[in-house]
Structure 1
Amino acid sequence: MADFFSELKNILFLDLETAASTHHLEELPERMQEEWHLKASRISTDENMDAAQLYFEKAGIYAEFGRVICIGMGYFSYNPDLDQLQFRTKSLASADEHEILWAFRDILEKKNWTLCAHNGKEFDFPYLCRRMLANRIPLPNVLQLAGKKPWELKHLDTLELWKFGDYKHYTRLELLASLFDIPSSKDDINGSEVNRVFYEDNNLQSIRTYCVKDVVVTAKIYLAFQGLPGDMDLQIIDLDTPEQG
């Protein structure tokens, strides 16, 4: 276990939750509203949904029109006294995107992390880069992509690992969790409800809980990819709860 942990301990598993930049389309600057109307004309497949409705439903997935409201993360540690693998989780959640991104940047700069997310290479990592730059935040080294060879990037993606080179194949995190008999993270809300829960319910705590659960599921899937049994003894430690820190 100790040899395995020496490689595992440097992986930071993460998941993002994002929302539209503003509650309503008309709250955007005029130039950005014009850009959204152009975007909406290209992506809309529902003739009954106008640009404002589409903005509320879809803007959060586009970094130019969305913002990060929660970053969930987790990393493995090993307790040699108990011979037990532990997974420590933490989250950054706020209506202040700049605050979240600066705090996350500090975390990334304190250790030579390898990042891991499900579909991270197509969504989480580029979204973080774009939103950091939009907030005038210098990119941390692990997110500096320019001039690096593919093998120099310290990025893992559980979706890419599952593809085994089949680039047409997309597999949802929930499907992999079901396949490997890992408990679902979708017991309270799901990704399509995040924008509503943030703006209409004002319930950032539910979003935080959902985000961290996705991180745990991603980490357990990564363990499953290493051939480890699903019922192995794994202690989850929530660092957002003071008594578990």
Structure 2
Amino acid sequence: MRLPVLVFDIETWTDLKSGAHLYGLDLPEADLEQALMKLRRQESGMDFQRLPLHEIVCISGLWIDETGLMTLFSFSREQYTEAEILKKFLSIFDKRHPTLVSWNGSQFDLPVILYRAMYHGLSAPSLFDQGEIDTQKRYNNYQNRYHQRHIDLMDVMAMFNGRNFQKLDDMAHLLGFPGKRGEAGYHVPEYIRAGEWLKLTSYCEGDVLNTWLIYLRWLLLKGQLQLDDHRLWVQTTIQYLSSLPQHGEFLAAWRQNAQATDFTAADFPSSTL
């Protein structure tokens, strides 16, 4: 494993102001969302908005440094504007050049970050340079799907074939990890409107943690981690989560789901149940 590693995920909702501007709508805010959804269905047959209209409300990450120290963090709209969230996240790449790990980050998270950073007039050459500034990035940058600087697990596990794409939740459950922990549906807008910021950040961080656990299993498959090292990283993760009360539910769901597969069940010996 090439350290440092940054596993990340974003949460978004529809940017009503930009949507009204794009489509020339003059409607009360209460009617805008439905109008934009109807227009999107007419355009594409689906509710999922075009990427530039996804306003970022949270970016979560798990940082693992060269010593193996883990830090789970979130930048959310509870404390920051969207532009401030982006500045904080993008500044990481100005200082360090981590291995970036995501689930569907190539098709969703990074393009949304690109569009929204442009919307706010931000610069992020450390993340988006493809060799124009640093010639070494011609051969290993964060955008090229076949490079190792950004590993989109959904993409690489599908062997770069869209017909093989799997959902993060499904893969997490299959491997004995928590997944969404019974969360049915997409609740991000509800959390924001109700000011339930801890639920929002815990939801986003849960996706980050599931992605990290799948990444460890992926490295084991590829021989980039030996079995003993894999077990050590898993136990380090369990110990770290034990120190985070907000993720007690995640840890409990992991302990329960692990029993569904023989390999993952070994993460929680019977003496710890």
* TM-score past 0.5 threshold: yes
5 Å matches for 1:49-64? 58-59=48-49, 62-64=50-52
Report if aligned partners of 1:19, 1:198 keep a CA contact under 8 Å in 2. Answer: no
* Structure with the bigger percentage of strand: 1
Count of aligned pairs: 210
| Cα distance change on mapping 1:43 and 1:196 into 2, 3 Å | farther
- Which structure would you say has the larger RCO, counting Cα contacts within 8 Å and 6 or more residues apart? 1
Alpha-carbon distance in structure 1 between the residues aligned to 2:190 and 2:208: 21
From 101, 116, 119, the equivalent of 2:104 is 119
Report if aligned partners of 1:113, 1:142 keep a CA contact under 8 Å in 2. Answer: no
Report if aligned partners of 1:71, 1:92 keep a CA contact under 8 Å in 2. Answer: yes
Give the aligned partner of residue 218 of structure 2: 225
Give the aligned partner of residue 49 of structure 1: none
Q: C-alpha offsets along residues 148-182 of structure 1, whole Å, 9 cap, x if unaligned? A: 64743321111112112433211011111112111
Alpha-carbon distance in structure 2 between the residues aligned to 1:102 and 1:188: 33
Deviation at 1:226, TM superposition (A): 1.8
From 39, 51, 54, the equivalent of 1:66 is 54
Alpha-carbon distance in structure 2 between the residues aligned to 1:16 and 1:30: 23
Q: Secondary structure at the match of 1:152?
A: coil
Residue identity over aligned pairs, in percent, reads: 21
| Cα distance change on mapping 1:110 and 1:175 into 2, 3 Å | same
Letter in 1 for 2:141: E
Give the aligned partner of residue 93 of structure 1: 76
Q: C-alpha offsets along residues 181-203 of structure 1, whole Å, 9 cap, x if unaligned? A: 1122x23746622122212x221
Letter in 2 for 1:120: G
Letter in 2 for 1:209: S
Alpha-carbon distance in structure 2 between the residues aligned to 1:29 and 1:127: 15
Deviation at 1:44, TM superposition (A): 3.7
1:202 corresponds to 2:203:
no
Give the aligned partner of residue 248 of structure 2: none
Deviation at 1:90, TM superposition (A): 0.8
TM-score normalized by the length of structure 1: 0.73
Alpha-carbon distance in structure 2 between the residues aligned to 1:218 and 1:30: 35
Higher alpha-carbon deviation: 160-169 or 13-22 = 160-169
Report if aligned partners of 2:51, 2:108 keep a CA contact under 8 Å in 1. Answer: no
Alpha-carbon distance in structure 2 between the residues aligned to 1:34 and 1:40: 17
1:43 corresponds to 2:36:
no
Q: What residue ranges of structure 1 are gaps of 5+ in the alignment?
A: 46-53, 80-84
1:21 corresponds to 2:8:
no
Letter in 1 for 2:11: E
Deviation at 1:204, TM superposition (A): 2.0
| Cα distance change on mapping 1:216 and 1:191 into 2, 3 Å | farther
Q: What residue ranges of structure 2 are gaps of 5+ in the alignment?
A: 26-35, 143-148, 221-226, 245-273
Deviation at 1:38, TM superposition (A): 4.7
Alpha-carbon distance in structure 1 between the residues aligned to 2:13 and 2:104: 18
Q: Secondary structure at the match of 2:172?
A: helix
| Cα distance change on mapping 1:145 and 1:205 into 2, 3 Å | farther
Alpha-carbon distance in structure 2 between the residues aligned to 1:212 and 1:191: 17
Alpha-carbon distance in structure 2 between the residues aligned to 1:126 and 1:69: 15
Deviation at 1:213, TM superposition (A): 1.1
Alpha-carbon distance in structure 1 between the residues aligned to 2:173 and 2:104: 17
Higher alpha-carbon deviation: 117-126 or 104-113 = 104-113
Report if aligned partners of 1:15, 1:71 keep a CA contact under 8 Å in 2. Answer: yes
Deviation at 1:102, TM superposition (A): 1.0
Deviation at 1:143, TM superposition (A): 2.5
Task: Provide the alpha-carbon RMSD of the alignment.
Answer: 2.9
TM-score normalized by the length of structure 2: 0.66
